[in-house]
Structure 1
Amino acid sequence: MLPGDRLHLMFRSRRSLIVRQLWKRRYTAPGSRGQGDGTPSSTADLHNVLRPAVYQLFKKLKDEQLWQLLEALDSRGYWDCGCILLPWEVHGSKQVLPPQVLLCRLYRWPDLHSTSELKSLTQCENFWRRSGEGSHVCCNPHHVCRVAAPEVSASSTYKRREAPRPAHAEQESGHYYVQRSHDTTLSGGSIHDAYWCKLAYWEHRTRVGRLYSVTEPSVHVFHDLPKASGFCLGLLGSEPRSQTVRRTRKKIGQGLVLSHEDGEVWAYNHSEHPIFINSPTLAAVTSCGQAVHKVLSGYAIKVFDAEKVAKLSGCSSMGDGPSDPHSVRISFAKGWGTCYSRQLITSCPCWLEILLSTPK
C-alpha cells in the first residue's frame, strides 16, 4: 500500500470515529415532553427515522465542521463554537427537513417540525442575514432557540401590588423609591438617554449593585460563564445572603440573553432551569392584571412589543397599584403568583428588572 493510500485510510477512519461520536450524543432523555402529531412514540423510533437523512447531512460537512459540531454539542452552548455553514436551497432540495431542523430534532427537540418554530441567536450569521439573502444556512443546534408561545404559568395571574408604598417613600414616574442606600422597592425613574434599557438585579426586596446600562443590540445576563461578556451577576456582592438566595443563584448559570430587534425585545432562556416573566405586552389588553409566563430552557419569547404598548396607554387592564408599561420583570428558577407560595415578585430570591427606554 502506498503512503498516500495509508494517509487516506487514516483520515477516513478518523472521520468515521467523529461520526460515531456525533451519533452517540443524540437526544436520549426518556419521555420527551410535548411530542407533536405524527412524531414517533419514542426517541429510539425517531432516531431510526432520521438516521438516513442525518448520515447524508454528515457527508456534506467537512471534517473540521464535524469537529465543530461535536464541540458545540459537548459545550451545550456553554461557549460559542461558531457557525456551521452548509449550502442549502429551499426549493429543489431532495432533503425533506432543513439541516438546522434535522439536527435540532436529533439533539434537542424531538417534537420540532419546521423552521418557523426556531429563532436564530444574535451570534449566528442567520440572525443578521436578510430573508432570501445567501444560499448557506447555519446548522449549529446551539445557535438557535425555540420560540415559546405566551403561556401563563399554572394559569396564575399577577396584579401589580408587589410594591406597597412605604410611609417614608416618594413617588416618581410610576415607581416608588426609598431614600436610603439600598432600594427596597422598585428601581425608580424613566430612562431618557442613549441606552435602550437598563437592568436592575434584585434579591427579594433588595436591589444588588448598580443599574446596568445596555447599548449593544443584545446583552447576556449570567451568573458565572467563561468566555462570555455581559452582565455578570456573580460579581455582585451582597452580604449576608440567605440559603434560598444562594441556592437560586447557583441555578442561574448561563442565565438569559436579551435582544432588541426593531421595537421588540426577546428573552432567550440560556440556563438549565425555567425563568418566569411578567410583561404588559405578554398579557391580553382586556385581561385583568398581568400574567406570569413560564419559559423553559432553550426557549425564547417576545417580552416587549412597542406597538402593543401604545394600545396599553391609559388602559386599566394593567392592574392595581403602580405600573410601568416599559418595565419587564424576570425571576430565575422560581415562579410567583396565585398558584405559588410566593405571591409577589419581591418574594422571589433572584430576579431581574428590565427598564426599557421610553420615546423622547
Structure 2
Amino acid sequence: MFRSRRAGLVRRLWRHRCAAPGPEDGPGALKPTAHALFRKLKDEELELLVQAVESRGAGQSGCVWVSRAELRGTKQALPPQVLLCRLFRWPDLRHPHELKRLSCCQGWGGWSEGAVLCCNPHHLSRLAMPETPPPPYSKLSPISCTWLEVSEPPNSSPPESGCSARGNWREPGLVRHAPRDSCWCKLAYWEHRTRVGHLYPVHEASVDIFCELPQGSGFSLGQLPAERRSTAVRRTRSKIGRGLLLSREREGVWAYNRSEHPIFVSSPTLGLPGVRGLPVRKVLPGYSLLAFDYERAGSLAGWRRPGDGPCDPNSIRISFAKGWGPCYSRPFITACPCWLEILLMPL
C-alpha cells in the first residue's frame, strides 16, 4: 500500500514537469536521476514537494529536506535543487549559482551549511540578469535603452491623517523620511499620478505585496479602494496576481517577482558609476533582483542626477506589467497604471 501511495505521488509530480526539456536534456534524460532523488525523500517530504509543484508556489509550502550525507555517497550529476528547478520551473537552468533562496525557506540565510538541504523549487528564485541583447519591443538603440530617466515627479499629497509616516514633501515625488522607528520601509501604491491608500509600514524582514494570494498576509493591493479606475488600471491590476516578495537581507533589499507578468524596477543603486540617468530593470516571473544595494547606497549621499534636482537615494520604484522610459510609450513611471514606491528608512 505504501509503495502504491508513493508511486501515485511520483506520477503526480511527472504530470507537472516542464513541457520543454532543457538544451542538454534528451527525452527522459533526467528521469533516472529524479527517481533516485525521490527515493531519498521521506513520505512527508515527497507530499510537500507534490503540494508545492501542483500549487506552482501560490500557497505556503514547507521545506523539502534531503540529507547532504546521502548526496555525498551518490554520483548525482546535478545538485537536487538544480534538478527539481529544471524539472518543474526552468528547463534551461544550469548551475546552482543562478539561484537565490527565498525568505519563506527555513534554510534562508545559512542554507549552504548544515546536515540537510531544502530542495523545494518554489523556495528558490532565479537571479535576474541584464537584458542582452535588448528586448524585441525596443524602438531605440541598445545604449539608449539601458539607462532610463525618471525625471518627472508625481503630483503627491501629504500622507493622510492616521498614517504612521510623519515626513513632508520637499518636492513632488521626493520624500523626506520620518525619524528612525521600528519599520525598515514604507510602501506607497500609485495608479498613474494618484497615490491610493495610506503608507504601509513594514516591520518584518520580508513582505508579500499582492492583489490575489490564496494563503499568507502582507500588503493587499486588492483591498485598496479608489473612486474611479481607468480601463488601463483595471487591466493592469488583473495582472498583478501574487505580486512580489520584498525582503531585507544583509546586502540590501531584494525583489522577487511572484506574478505571471514582468515587473520593472528602478533605484539609484542599480546604475553604473558615471552613467547619467536611473536604470529600469525588467524582472521576469520567478526571478529575483537586488533592487537596492546597501554598500553602493553608502556612496550616494547627496547624490544628484546631472542637470536635475535632488533625487531620494533611499527609494525603489516598481511598476507592474508595464515598463517606462525611452524603450516604451511611457516616458515616466507616473504614466504606468500601477506602481509602488518603496521608501527605505535611512541606515
User: For 1:160, which of 147, 150, 153 is the aligned residue?
Assistant: 150
Counterpart CA distance in 2 for 1:261 and 1:164 is: 29
Deviation track 1:87-113 (CA, whole Å, cap 9, x = no partner) reads 024755421211111000111111112
The equivalent residue for 2:116 is 136
The reply on whether 1:253 has 2:244 as its aligned counterpart is no
- The amino acid of 2:330's aligned partner reads R
Counterpart CA distance in 2 for 1:48 and 1:346 is: 49
Deviation track 1:196-245 (CA, whole Å, cap 9, x = no partner) reads 11100000000000000011111110112122111000010012100110
Q: Tell me the TM-score normalized by structure 2.
A: 0.87
Counterpart CA distance in 2 for 1:145 and 1:58 is: 21
The reply on whether 1:176 has 2:166 as its aligned counterpart is no
The equivalent residue for 1:346 is 334
- The amino acid of 1:147's aligned partner reads L
User: For 2:8, which of 17, 31, 37 is the aligned residue?
Assistant: 17
Superposition CA RMSD, Å? 2.2
The equivalent residue for 2:159 is none
The equivalent residue for 1:218 is 206
User: What is the DSSP-based 3-state SS (H/G/I as helix, E as strand, rest coil) of the residue aligned with 1:224?
Assistant: coil
Q: 1:77-226 counterparts in 2 under 5 A?
A: 77-89=57-69, 93-129=74-110, 131-132=112-113, 134-151=114-131, 154=138, 155-163=145-153, 175-177=170-172, 186=173, 188-194=175-181, 195-226=183-214
Q: 1:255-274 counterparts in 2 under 5 A?
A: 255-274=243-262
The equivalent residue for 2:29 is 49
Report the Cα offset of residue 173 of structure 1.
7.5
Q: 1:236-251 counterparts in 2 under 5 A?
A: 236-251=224-239
Report the Cα offset of residue 64 of structure 1.
2.6
Deviation track 1:242-285 (CA, whole Å, cap 9, x = no partner) reads 01101100110000011111250000001010000111111102
> Is the Cα–Cα contact under 8 Å of residues 87 and 137 in structure 1 kept in the other structure?
yes
User: What is the DSSP-based 3-state SS (H/G/I as helix, E as strand, rest coil) of the residue aligned with 2:62?
Assistant: coil
Report the Cα offset of residue 160 of structure 1.
3.1
Cα 1:175–1:23 shift into 2, 3 Å:
farther
User: What is the DSSP-based 3-state SS (H/G/I as helix, E as strand, rest coil) of the residue aligned with 1:14?
Assistant: helix
User: What is the DSSP-based 3-state SS (H/G/I as helix, E as strand, rest coil) of the residue aligned with 1:49?
Assistant: coil
Counterpart CA distance in 2 for 1:53 and 1:96 is: 8
- The amino acid of 1:161's aligned partner reads S
User: What is the DSSP-based 3-state SS (H/G/I as helix, E as strand, rest coil) of the residue aligned with 1:192?
Assistant: coil
Q: Name structure 2 gaps, 5 residues minimum.
A: 139-144, 157-166
Cα 1:110–1:252 shift into 2, 3 Å:
same
> Is the Cα–Cα contact under 8 Å of residues 303 and 311 in structure 2 kept in the other structure?
no
Cα 1:304–1:235 shift into 2, 3 Å:
same
The reply on whether 1:325 has 2:320 as its aligned counterpart is no
User: What is the DSSP-based 3-state SS (H/G/I as helix, E as strand, rest coil) of the residue aligned with 1:81?
Assistant: coil
The equivalent residue for 1:301 is 289
Counterpart CA distance in 1 for 2:228 and 2:60 is: 34
> Is the Cα–Cα contact under 8 Å of residues 263 and 282 in structure 2 kept in the other structure?
yes
Report the Cα offset of residue 129 of structure 1.
2.8
Q: Name structure 1 gaps, 5 residues minimum.
A: 1-9, 167-171, 178-185
User: For 1:60, which of 25, 33, 40 is the aligned residue?
Assistant: 40
User: Rg bigger for which structure?
Assistant: 1
Deviation track 1:29-67 (CA, whole Å, cap 9, x = no partner) reads 5xx8xx7xxx33xxxx44522111001011111223222
- The amino acid of 1:115's aligned partner reads P
Report the Cα offset of residue 353 of structure 1.
0.2
Counterpart CA distance in 1 for 2:267 and 2:278 is: 7
Report the Cα offset of residue 318 of structure 1.
6.3
The equivalent residue for 2:301 is 313
> Is the Cα–Cα contact under 8 Å of residues 159 and 320 in structure 1 kept in the other structure?
no
The reply on whether 1:286 has 2:266 as its aligned counterpart is no
Cα 1:329–1:295 shift into 2, 3 Å:
same
> Is the Cα–Cα contact under 8 Å of residues 104 and 112 in structure 1 kept in the other structure?
yes
Q: How many residues align?
A: 325
